[in-house]
Each structure stands twice: as structure tokens, then as C-alpha cells.
Amino acid sequence: MKMGTLILAEQPDYYVKSAEKTLAVLLAFKGGNTALTVSQVAAATEQTRASARRFLLTLVDLGYLEIEGNTYRQTPRVLDVGAAYLSGLTLPRAAISHLQQLARELDETSSLCVLEGQDILYVERVSAPRLHQMNVSIGNRLPAWTTSMGRVLIANLSAGERAEFLKGIELRRYTEHTVGSLAELNAELDRVAGQGWSLVNQELDEGLRGLAVPVYRGNQLLGALNVSVQSGRADDFSISQTLLPALRRAAKEIAADFGGRAD
């Protein structure tokens, strides 16, 4: 027997075959196989159609797959399986020292996020030295359209990707400052795309402003870098003259540490 390979007769008592089959069904959606029928999944996992259908429907009920006609597709929730691992990925490791420096320099909380489905996912975060606890931690999500980081990331999508993203948005008023229409949001995204940064003023939380810039390595968008500022702590001048230059510098340093820019 090869090392790491279990022959059926030699599987230990604890071995759960259904767990193996569940993972096999999820892993069938790879290599460009974004939409699969029951028959295709059955063939890929060496199961009967009846068995494959049961696993597929269970994964639909759990939110990991969705049905479109006679095919199944993965949903963004499959990324939850690896979300806990994100804090150990290369990008967060490359960013952590720069986030710490940014938090010390500005005395504000700094964060790094990526776009995951309709949400932003926090992959690294350093709270301001003056704060003893933070409300958002690594792995937490927020609706992307309501945040400065999310708007930076959405604004950098292609026109088709942005249009598709906007179709999935359910607008709601978090505060009296929250954008009230898709037209207003789209105009804001155009502004963000043109200026290269986003400032969200009390749209998700009263009294809190978020400033974000994209983190690019060459033409590859890695994520978005942000500082959160209480509305009374920074005026427009300090945001443009102090916070924004510091964020842009940190974004370049994170990209360089992650592998260097191509331009």
C-alpha cells in the first residue's frame, strides 16, 4: 500500500465514507467545471446517480450549492471552508507589519479585505493603539457595497462584473447617510474608480468613516486597505493630506513584500 493511500478493506474504524463522498462532490466542481448535472457528478465521483443526487441536494440545503435548471453550481459559501486559513496566507503575512505601522502612525484601526461574493472578508486587522477591543475580527464579513473597502474592490471590477454584482445587491438603510438607490451607488463607484480611493461617511455605522485604497501587484488586484476613523477625529484636510498618502504608501509596501509590482 502506498503511503497516504487507504484501500477500502484497510480503512480504520473511524473512517466516515459519507464525509469522503461529500468532499468528492464539492471537488468535482473544479478545472472549469462550474455547472454540473447529476450524471456528471455521479461519473466524476464514481457514485450512482441516486447517491450523487442525495449529496447534491444536501449541499444545496446547506447553502454550498445552488440549482439552475438541471445543473448545480457552487455558491460563495464554499469559501467558508477555507476562511479560517486566510490569516495564514501569504498576503496577510505580508501585510501585518504594515498594518501595525499604519495603526501606530495614524492611531487608527487598519484592515485588509478581499471581495468574497457580495461581501468583504477581513483577512487581517490591527486595532488602533488607543482601543482595547475591536468589533470586527479576521474572518468577519460585511456587505461590500456599504464599505469603503468593498467599493474600492467593486469599482475595480470589469464593467460586466460590476453590473452582475449590482444585480445581487439588496439595498437597505443602515443609517440616514446610506446611499438610497443603485443609480446613486453606481455614480459613487464611478467616482471611486476615477480617483482611486473611497471614503464612506457613516453609511454603515453612525459616527464612523472608512477610507480605503486598492492593493495592486502589477495589474492584479490583491485586496483593499482601510483605516476606520471616528467622524470627529479627522477632517477632510487631514484625510486627504495625512491618511490617504499613508494608506497609499502602505498599499505599495504590502504589494512589494507580497512579490513586487510589475510596473
What tens digit of pLDDT does each residue of 8-22 get? 446 788 888 899 999
Given this model, what pLDDT does residue 12 score?
80
Q: How high is the mean pLDDT of the chain? A: 85
The three-state secondary structure class of 92 is helix
Given this model, what pLDDT does residue 34 score?
78
Task: Give the whole-angstrom CA distance, residue 96 versus residue 174.
Answer: 30
What tens digit of pLDDT does each residue of 113-160 get? 999 989 999 999 998 876 544 455 678 889 999 999 999 999 999 999
Given this model, what pLDDT does residue 83 score?
63
What predicted TM-score, i.e. pTM, was given to this entire model? Answer: 0.64
What tens digit of pLDDT does each residue of 25-36 get? 998 987 667 789
Could you state, in order of their start, the residue ranges of all structural domains in the chain? 8-74, 81-258
How deeply is 14 buried, as exposed, middle or buried, from its count of CB atoms within 10 A (0-12, 13-18, 19+)? exposed
pLDDT band per the 50, 70, 90 thresholds, residue 234: low
Given this model, what pLDDT does residue 208 score?
87
- Cβ atoms within 10 Å of 49's Cβ, excluding its own: 13
Domain spanning 81-258: which superfamily?
A: GAF domain (3.30.450.40)
What tens digit of pLDDT does each residue of 204-213 get? 888 889 999 9
**Spatial contact of 165 and 154, defined as CB atoms under 8 Å apart:** yes
pLDDT band per the 50, 70, 90 thresholds, residue 6: very low
In 132-239, where does DSSP find H-type helix?
Answer: 148-155, 159-167, 182-195, 236-238
CATH number for the domain running over 8-74: 1.10.10.10
- Looking at per-residue pLDDT, the higher value among 5 and 222 belongs to 222
Q: What's the average model confidence in pLDDT over 88-116?
A: 88
Angle between helix 17-27 and helix 49-62 axes, rounded to 10 deg: 80
Length of the chain: 263
Q: What's the average model confidence in pLDDT over 232-253?
A: 85
Given this model, what pLDDT does residue 249 score?
95
Question: Given this chain, do its domains 8-74 and 81-258 carry the same CATH topology?
Answer: no
Given this model, what pLDDT does residue 89 score?
55
Given this model, what pLDDT does residue 100 score?
93
Given this model, what pLDDT does residue 235 score?
72
What tens digit of pLDDT does each residue of 54-90 get? 999 999 999 999 998 999 998 878 877 766 655 555 7
pLDDT exceeds 90 at position 190? yes
pLDDT band per the 50, 70, 90 thresholds, residue 219: confident
